[in-house]
Structure 1
Amino acid sequence: MSTPQHHTNTTTAFFFQAAISFAVSTVALGLGIAYLSADPWMRGFLALGTLYVITSTFTLAKCVRDRQEETEVVSRVDKARLDKLLAEHDPFKVDNL
């Protein structure tokens, strides 16, 4: 009795859509900051904040992915142990005490 493995692979189209969306939003925000009628130090502060948010987002995405992969590996190990126990179990074997 095996449980189905759920592997969700992203399609190439979805990957490109996500990459293009990220690029467009980053460029639009950068242009908005560049053309903002504010002092240069204020624009610099907003640009630095934007870079911080972007790097934090990548770090969070990596941590979520790593945790998901770790959970998947632990699940596979537990399933392998259970399969081994079930394969070795003989319900008709009588233990002599």
Structure 2
Amino acid sequence: MTTPAAKTTSAYFAQAGIAFAVALLSVVLGIVYLPVDGWMRAFLAVGVMFLVTSCFTLAKVVRDAQESAGLSSRLDQARLDRILAEHDPFKEPV
């Protein structure tokens, strides 16, 4: 028995993209209008860029691990199905 692959709707994809854009824009505007020296702004900007790229990397790693687990699970299920199909309970042991 296989489980259907989860499909992301275009509305969900758009909502995620808009939420990301709004969050990133608000942080960037907060850094720009922060009443501190330029080097402090630069440090915060580099920190935000590192955080964003780390989030993308983490999401990709989690997705790849989930896909890999699903693939190995399907392979294990196929092997089990083949063994059960080839098994004859009435066959005399050799």
TM-score (norm 2): 0.95
Specify which structure has the bigger relative contact order, considering alpha-carbon pairs within 8 angstroms and separated by 6 or more residues.
2
Aligned residue identity for 2:40 = M
Deviation per residue, 1:46-78 (Å, 9 max, x gap): 011000000000000010011001101100110
Q: How many residues align?
A: 94
Please list, as runs of the form range in 1=range in 2, the aligned pairs for 1:6-21 lying within 5 A after superposition.
6-21=4-19
1:55 aligned residue:
53
Q: Where do 4+ consecutive residues of structure 1 move more than 2 Å?
A: none
Aligned residue identity for 1:49 = G
Q: Unpaired segments of 5 or more residues in structure 1?
A: none
Identity of aligned residues (%): 53
Q: Within the alignment, does 1:32 sit opposite 2:30 as a pair? A: yes
State the Cα RMSD in Å: 1.0
SS in 1 for 2:7: coil
Q: Unpaired segments of 5 or more residues in structure 2?
A: none
